[in-house]
Amino acid sequence: MRIMDELLASGVYIRGTDDFTVKLNNKLPPGERHIKSSMTKKLLEKLSELANNKGFQITHDRKIGYRYSSNIGPVRVFDDMLGDDEKTTLKLAIGLFSILNGSGINEQFSLVVDKVLNNKGIKMNSHNTSIHNHIQLGPTLNDPGAKWLSPLINAMKESDYALEVQYWKPETDITRRILSPYILKLYAYEWYLVAYDHHTDQKNKTKLFKLERIRGIESSATPFKKDTEFIVEEYFRYTIGIQHRHLEESEVTRLQINDDTLFEKLNKMPLHSTQKIEDPTKKILTIETYDTYELDELILKHGPAIKVLSPKKIADRIKLKLNKAISMYK
């Protein structure tokens, strides 16, 4: 009856009782004994009673076949059942969770999806389980730091106590830090943490940490610190990718776009959230960012399609890098 309810709610054309029986049997889990048309008729009667109790009916005519008739929009007898679109959404979401490879969260989510679908009487066959492969997010590189995602997420969720983190840096070896984690961010297939560093000597205590450099995480008795001056949108406002500069001011870079197609694309998908069109005729735009290596990468990846007009130091630096690249091919 749940499968019949799903078929009726989906709006699929069901010609008659025999057709209903075929469609119903096709939906049964593998190995389940098929029913006959006589049983379909009996089940329809019971389903019709349940529908009537909810204020709608099962109708049938030659043109539209069997379907639900209601003045209140889409209806279901079994409200806890997932529709085909909802099931597909869950399965596709598994593909999106591939960015969490190596954390254990991706596997947990797959198990949750299986549990939800199987609890709704749906047997996932090979076709169903592979549907998430229709979404590809590019190369799925496993960041070793992803294994720390779960404890960090739990700490952010609880927000009671900070964490004691063993953190490695090439110039200082392994140090022990007390961190209150605020944000996790994925950039270029690597995970980063923005956290409050309780014992740093620096004035700005909210800093960036690379998860790959974490060597251990333990609980601590230090209360979780909420930095009242930390605002997510402000922290990354002038950032390209992940680099933040506490001690530097942002700079406006003027760019000339030498490709009509790219200029049209940038009108819809800006280079940066701060992008402004200065002169649409000359195809000149500006972005305001920190002067980091990521700014160079953003410009260089477009080759001759983008020219830096100012500041001069950035234009000279891009020119130097391009000349070095050209010299390798002489």
Topology of domain 251-327, per CATH? Alpha-Beta Plaits (3.30.70)
CA–CA distance, 255 with 263 (Å, rounded to integer): 11
CA–CA distance, 148 with 153 (Å, rounded to integer): 9
Residue 224 — very low, low, confident or very high, per pLDDT cuts 50/70/90?
A: very high
Q: Which strands, in side-by-side order, build the sheet including 284-289?
A: 276-279, 284-289, 251-257, 306-310
Q: Between the ranges 159-163, 203-207, 322-326, where is the mean pLDDT highest?
A: 322-326
Q: Is the fold of 2-69 the same as that of 251-327?
A: no
> Residue 278: left (phi > 0), alpha (psi -120 to 50), or beta?
alpha
Residue 295 — very low, low, confident or very high, per pLDDT cuts 50/70/90?
A: very high
**Do residues 248 and 295 lie in contact, with contact meaning Cβ atoms separated by under 8 Å?**
no
Percent of the chain scoring above 70 in pLDDT = 87
- Is the pTM here over 0.85, yes or no? no
Tell me the average pLDDT of the chain: 85
**Where in the chain are the domains?**
2-69, 84-134, 144-235, 251-327
* Residue carrying structure tokens 């001069």: 312
Position 100 pLDDT exceeds 90: no
The predicted-structure confidence for 226-279, as pLDDT tens digits, reads as follows 888 888 888 889 999 888 887 789 999 999 999 999 999 999 999 999 999 999
Class of domain 2-69: mainly alpha
* Residue carrying structure tokens 């022990």: 176
